[in-house]
Amino acid sequence: MAVNLYIPPESQIFPVAGVEIGIAEAGIRKANRRDLTVFRLAAGSSVAGVFTRNRFRAAPVQVCEAHLAADRGIRALVINTGNANAGTGQSGLEIARQTCTALASLLDIEAEQVLPFSTGVILEPLPLDRLVAALPTAIRGTAADNWFAAAHSIMTTDTQPKIVSQRVAIGNQTITITGISKGAGMIRPNMATMLGFLATDAGIAPDLLKRMAGSIADRSFNRITVDGDTSTNDSFIMAATGASPLRIESESDPQYEPLYRALTDAAAELAQKIVRDAEGATKFITVRVEQALNTEEALKVAYAVAQSPLVKTAFFASDPNLGRILCAVGYAGIDDLDVSRTKLWLGDVLVASRGERHPDYQEADGQRVMKEPEITVRIALGRGDVTETVYTCDFSHEYVSINADYRS
Amino acid sequence: MAVNLYIPPESQIFPVAGVEIGIAEAGIRKANRRDLTVFRLAAGSSVAGVFTRNRFRAAPVQVCEAHLAADRGIRALVINTGNANAGTGQSGLEIARQTCTALASLLDIEAEQVLPFSTGVILEPLPLDRLVAALPTAIRGTAADNWFAAAHSIMTTDTQPKIVSQRVAIGNQTITITGISKGAGMIRPNMATMLGFLATDAGIAPDLLKRMAGSIADRSFNRITVDGDTSTNDSFIMAATGASPLRIESESDPQYEPLYRALTDAAAELAQKIVRDAEGATKFITVRVEQALNTEEALKVAYAVAQSPLVKTAFFASDPNLGRILCAVGYAGIDDLDVSRTKLWLGDVLVASRGERHPDYQEADGQRVMKEPEITVRIALGRGDVTETVYTCDFSHEYVSINADYRS
C-alpha cells in the first residue's frame, strides 16, 4: 500500500561500473526467500558510511566502523535480512567478524575490507553457519545488473523494493548513480532500521566522500520519520568506484557542486521511498518549517508535528484537525515562540495566522487538501529565515497491526 | 475498556466542606449531555494552579493565570467540555473573560475571582451564549455531594469518570481530600488535555499551596504519557478551603509532610486513572528507571521507552519484544551510556544485562508478564542512584480509531 512509490523499469536501472552484486537464500529467518546480498567493489573504490547514533549499536555497525577506520580499502559488503544481530553482545560481534572473515577468504581479500550489515529482529543470535554456507552461491551469481534483485533481497517489512538510478552529465562526463534502500518501521533520523547503499562510478577522494556522506545523510535519511524510533542498525553507505574518468578531489573542484547535488537528490529519493512505504502509510506528508531562527528550532518544530500521533491519525482520517498541528508547534520546545507571528498552510490553503484560524479559512478547503495522498504542511514561525523540511506519513490501523504481529 | 480503573462507590466519595458543585446541559457541542460544571469555593479558600507549557496556551489558561495573579481570592471555577477555546485568538480570550464576568455577576463576586476551564475541539469558537444561558441552572443545583456527577460532566473521550476521595488523619484532625480528573488522549507531561481538580478542607497558606501544587504536579500529572502530545489546555487546580481546623503555614510544620504525601498520592491516583482510561488502552505500564545520574536522564530514558510506538504496540500484542525496549533506551539521548552496565526487567523477570539477552531468560517468562494487564518495566542504568517512574499504556487499533474519528 505504498504511497506513490515509483519503481523504475529494469531498463532504467543502470549498473555502476565497478559494482557487482550477488544474492542467495541463506534461510536466516525464513526458508525460500533471498535474504543474503553481497556487493563486490572494484579495487580503489572510495567507501564512506554513516551509522546509527543509538547507544545499543548492533554488532555489524560496530564492525563496519572498525573496518572503515582500519582504512584497508573496502572491497565487499555483506547484508543479511531476518536478523539484526543487535543486543547480542560479545558473541554477536564475533559472528559479525566471522561473517567478514568467511567472505574475505572466499574473495581473497582481508576481513577488514568487508563491511557487514544486518536487519531484522533484535536480541536473537544470528545463525552464522547458515549465512556462511550461502556465501558461495551469492558469490557465484554476482553480476552488474543485480540491483533490482538486491533491492528485493534486503527488504524486511517493506512492501516494495526501493531503488533509484540515474545517469547524470557532469561537465563533459556522464556518470551513473544507482542506489537501494530498505526500511519501513523504526524510522527516525540518526537513523532508522534503515539501510541505504548509494554507488557511483565517479571517482571521489576518500576524505571528500566521507564529508559528503555525512552531509548527504543529514539532507536525506536524517530528515525522515515514521515512528520516532532510531534503530540499532541504521547504516548509509556510499561507494565511488572511480570507473568513470570523472575524478573529484575537493569541494573547490567546479564539478563538485553538481555531483554533490545529484548524489543528494538520489539519497533523498531513497530516503523518501522509505516513508512512502512506511508501515501502514496511506499518505506522504512533507512538513516544511520556514522563518526559523536556526536549523535546530526548525527541526524541533518539524519533528514535533511529524511525530505527533494525533496529527498522524488526523491525516489518516483526512480530517483537517488543524488544532492538533498548532498544538504540536506549541509544545515543540521553543520557549519564546510568539504564536501571534505564526502561520500555517495546508497545501496552498492558509489555515491559521496570528495563533488562530484564519478568517477566510473554509473547512471544505482543508478537507480537499487532506484527501490528497501527498500533503505539504507549511509552518512559518516569523522569527528568522531558516527553512527545514522533514518527511513523514500518516498513522493507520495497519501500522498497529504490522507492529503488533511483527514477530509472529 | 479502561484498565483496572477503580471507581469508588458513592458512599466512599466524601464532600469537601467549603466546596459546592453544580452541573448543567449547555449544549456546547452536543445536545442532551451535561457539559457545564461550576465549583463554588468558600471565602478564604487557597487556590493554586499549574498549567500547560504549550506555547499555544488556550484562552481559559491565559485567563486563569491572570486571575490567579490578580490575587483577589478565587471563589468559583467554571468548566465546559466540548470546546477547548484554544487557537481562538483575541475573541477567544474575550469569551473566556465574559464567561467569568457572567458567572461572577450571578454569584455576586468579581470576575477575577473566577477561573475558567475548557476542553474539547480546538480552533473553533466557544458558543458563549449557550454557556452563559446554562449558568443559572448550574448554580441553582449546586450541592456538596455532586463530585461524582462532576467527574462525569467534565469527560470528553474518557470512557469512565475519574475520582479519588479519602479521609486522612493528620495529627489529631481528620481531613478530607477529594478530586476529579479527565483526559484520555493528547496526554503528556507539562501537561495534557487533562484537567485535574483536587480539593481539601485543610487550611493551607496560599504561598505554600502554590509551591505544593507545582511539586505535586511534577509527581503526578507530569509523570504520565499516552501519546506524547502536550495540549493547549492542561490545568491542575488545588483548592484548600480551610473548613477543617487543620491549618498549615509552612513546610516546617510537622503536619506538612503527611498532608503533602496524602495530596500527592491523591493527585498521582487521579493522573494514573487518566492513563488507565487512555484512548484504546488495554494495559497499564509502569516504566521505572533506576541507577540514573540525575532526574533529567532518568526521565529521558523513561519517556523514550514510554512513548515509543514500537514498544507500545508490542505491549498491545503481549509480545515480549524486548529489543524494542533496549533500542529505545539506546536512543534516549544519553551520549555516554555504557550499555554493558544496563539491566532490564519485565515484571520480576531479568531479561537483559550487559547489553544483551540474559543467559537465563526464557521467552515463556517474558510472555507470562506481557499478558498481564499491569506491567512494570524496570531499567537499571548503572550510573548513579536516581530513580524516576513514568506511567503509560499500550497502543492499540482502538487508539487509531478514536483519533481518526474524533471530530466526526
For B243-300, the DSSP string reads -SS-EE-STTSTTHHHHHHHHHHHHHHHHHHHHHT-TT---EEEEEEEEESSHHHHHH
Residue B362 neighbours by CB distance under 10 Å: 11
Indicate which of B123, B354, B383 best probes the interface with A, i.e. most A CBs within 10 Å of its own CB. B123
Q: Would you state the CATH architecture of domain B284-405?
A: Roll (3.10)
Strand, coil or helix: B359: coil
Contact residues on chain B for A359, CB-CB shorter than 8 A? none
Handedness of CA B74, B80, B86, B88 (dihedral sign): negative
Residuewise pLDDT in 10s, chain A (408 residues):
688 899 999 999 999 999 999 999 999 998 889 999 999 999 999 999 999 888 888 999 999 999 999 999 999 999 999 998 988 889 999 999 999 999 999 999 999 999 999 998 878 899 999 999 999 999 999 999 999 999 999 998 788 999 999 999 998 999 999 999 998 655 443 333 689 999 999 999 999 999 999 999 999 988 887 665 566 778 999 999 999 999 999 999 999 999 999 999 999 999 999 889 887 889 999 999 999 999 999 999 999 999 888 888 889 988 888 888 988 898 888 999 998 999 999 999 999 998 888 999 998 999 999 999 999 999 999 999 999 999 999 988 777 776 676 444
Tell me the CATH architecture of domain A10-275: 4-Layer Sandwich (3.60)
Q: For residue B227, give every residue at least 6 positions away whose Cβ sits within 8 Å of its Cβ, in sequence order, or none.
A: A308, A309, A310, B185, B186, B187, B188, B279, B307, B399
More confident residue, A130 or B307: A130
Phi, psi angle pair for A228, to nearest 5°:
80, 0
Distance CA B363, CA B361 (A): 7
pLDDT interval class at B327 (50, 70, 90): confident
What span, in angstroms and rounded, lies between the C-alpha atoms of A178 and A168? 11
- Band (pLDDT 50/70/90 cuts) for residue B408 is very low
Q: CB-based contact (8 Å) between A114 and chain B?
A: no
Task: Give B393→chain A minimum CA distance, Å.
Answer: 14
Give the residue-averaged pLDDT of B43-59. Answer: 91
Per the CB < 8 A criterion, the answer to whether A208 and A69 are in contact is no
pLDDT over 70 (residue B325): yes
- Taking the C-alpha atoms of residue A38 and residue A21, their distance in angstroms, rounded to an integer, is 6
**pLDDT per residue as tens digits for the range A204-250:** 999 999 999 999 999 998 888 766 556 677 899 999 999 999 999 99
Interface contact flag, B400 A401, Cβ < 8 Å: no
Q: Within an 8 Å CB–CB cutoff, is residue B229 touching chain A?
A: yes
Q: How confident is the model at residue B227 (pLDDT cuts 50, 70, 90)?
A: low
Cα atoms in the Cβ-side hemisphere of radius 13 Å centred on A346: 29
Active site (annotated) includes residue B193 = yes
pLDDT band at B2 (very low <50, low <70, confident <90, very high): confident
Tell me how far CA of residue B170 lies from CA of B12, B204, B256, B261, in angstroms: 19, 13, 9, 11
Q: When comparing pLDDT for B281 and B232, which is higher?
A: B281
Using alpha carbons, select from B333, B366, B374 the residue that is nearest to residue A124. B366
**From CA A343, how far away is CA A347, in angstroms rounded?**
13
Distance CA B329, CA B309 (A): 14
pLDDT per residue as tens digits for the range B282-301: 999 999 999 999 999 999 99
Q: Which residues contact A296 (CB under 8 A, 6 or more apart)?
A: none
pLDDT on residue B87: 84
According to the annotation, is A300 in a ligand binding site? no
Q: A53, A327, A397: which to substitute to probe chain B, counting the most B Cβ within 10 Å?
A: A327
pLDDT at position B190 over 50? no
ipTM above 0.90 for this complex: no
- Give the number of other CB atoms < 10 A from CB of residue B265: 17
Q: Is B105 annotated as a binding residue?
A: no
Burial B16-42 (b: 16+ CB within 10 A, else e): bbbbbbbbbbbbbbeeebbbbbbbbbb
Task: Dump pLDDT digits (tens) for B356-372.
Answer: 889 999 989 999 999 99
B371 is in an annotated binding site: no
Is B193 annotated for ligand binding? Answer: yes
pLDDT at B226: 66
Check whether B397 has a pLDDT greater than 90. Answer: no
Q: What is the rounded distance in angstroms from the CA atom of residue B84 to the CA atom of residue B32?
A: 19
Residue A309 to residue B121, Cβ atoms within 8 A: no
Contact B122 A323 (CB under 8 A): yes
* Mean residue pLDDT across chain B: 91
Q: Is residue B1 predicted with pLDDT exceeding 70? A: no
Selecting from 3.50.50.60, 3.40.50.720, 3.90.700.10, 3.60.70.12, what CATH number does the domain B10-276 have?
Answer: 3.60.70.12
Share of chain B above pLDDT 70, in %: 94
Nearest to A13 by CA among A164, A143, A154, A181: A164
pLDDT in tens, A278-314: 878 899 999 999 999 999 999 999 999 998 888 888 8
- A94: contact with B, CB 8 A cutoff: no
Q: Which helix (H) or strand (E) holds B76?
A: strand B76-83
Tell me, yes or no, if A382 comes closer than 8 A to chain B by beta carbon: no
Q: Which residues of B167-189 are buried (b: 16+ CB within 10 A; e: fewer)?
A: ebebeeeebbbbbbbbbbbbbbb
Distance between CA B146 and CA A170 in Å, rounded?
77
Q: Looking at beta carbons, which residues of chain B come within 8 Å of A53?
A: 331
> Considering only CA atoms, which of A336, A328, A188, A331 is closest in space to residue A344?
A328
Q: Catalytic: which of B37, B193, B232, B342?
A: B193
In this prediction, residues B376-397 reach a mean pLDDT of 93
**Burial readout B282-306 (b: 16 or more C-beta within 10 A, e: otherwise):** bbbbbbbbbbbeeeebbbbbbbbbb
Q: Are A397 and B316 in contact (CB under 8 A)?
A: no
Least Cα distance to A224 among A307, A325, A346, A301 occurs for A307
Residue B188 — pLDDT band, cuts 50, 70, 90?
very low
Q: What is the dihedral angle through the alpha carbons of A270, A275, A278, A281, rounded to the nearest 10 degrees?
A: -140
- Cα–Cα distance for residue pair B250/A120, rounded to 1 Å: 57
Is A193 annotated to bind a ligand? Reply is: yes
The closest alpha carbon to B178, from B139, B149, B215, belongs to B149
Contact status, residue A185 vs residue A194, Cβ threshold 8 Å: no
A266 to each of A166, A168, A179, A220, B340, how far by Cα in Å?
Answer: 8, 11, 8, 9, 38
Q: What is the pLDDT of residues B133-156, one digit of tens each?
A: 999 999 999 999 999 999 999 998
Angle between helices A89-107 and A59-70 (to 10 degrees): 50
Considering CB atoms only, which of A122, A327, A397 is closest to B400?
A397
Q: List all residues 6 or more positions away from B232 whose beta carbon is below 8 Å from its beta carbon.
A: A323, A326, A327, A330, B52, B54, B56, B57, B58, B61, B84, B86, B87, B122, B193
Q: What are the extents of the domains in chain B?
A: 10-276, 284-405
User: Cβ–Cβ contacts within 10 Å for residue B10, how many?
Assistant: 11
Residue A169 touches chain B, beta carbons under 8 Å = no
A311: distance to nearest CA of chain B, Å? Answer: 9
Catalytic choice (A37, A81, A178, A193):
A193
Q: What is the pLDDT of residue A130?
A: 97
For residue B33, give the DSSP letter.
S
Q: Which of A351, A299, A309, A324 is nearest to B231 (CA)?
A: A324
Dihedral angle of Cα A89, A94, A97, A99, to the nearest 10 degrees = -110
Question: Is residue B401 classed exposed, middle or buried when 0-12, 13-18 and 19+ CB atoms within 10 A define those classes?
Answer: middle
Q: How close, in Å, is residue B187 to chain A by CA atoms?
A: 10
Pairwise CA distance, residues A310 & A325, whole Å: 9
Check B122 against A307: CB less than 8 A apart: no
Contact residues, chain A, for B122 at CB < 8 Å: 323-324, 326-327
A397 contacts B309? CB cut-off 8 A = no
Q: How many residues does chain B have?
A: 408
- Chain-centroid distance of CA B235 in Å reads 8
Over residues B167-179, mean pLDDT: 95
Q: Which residues sit opposite B76 in a β-bridge?
A: B40, B114
> Which residues are within 8 A (CB) of A362 and not within 5 positions of it... i.e. 6 or more apart?
none
Q: Do B400 and A396 touch (CB under 8 A)?
A: yes
Q: Is the pLDDT of residue B101 over 60?
A: yes
Q: Is A220 marked within a binding site?
A: no
The answer to whether residues B52 and B231 touch, using CB atoms and an 8 Å cutoff, is: yes
pLDDT at B334: 93
Are the C-beta atoms of B4 and B284 separated by less than 8 Å?
yes
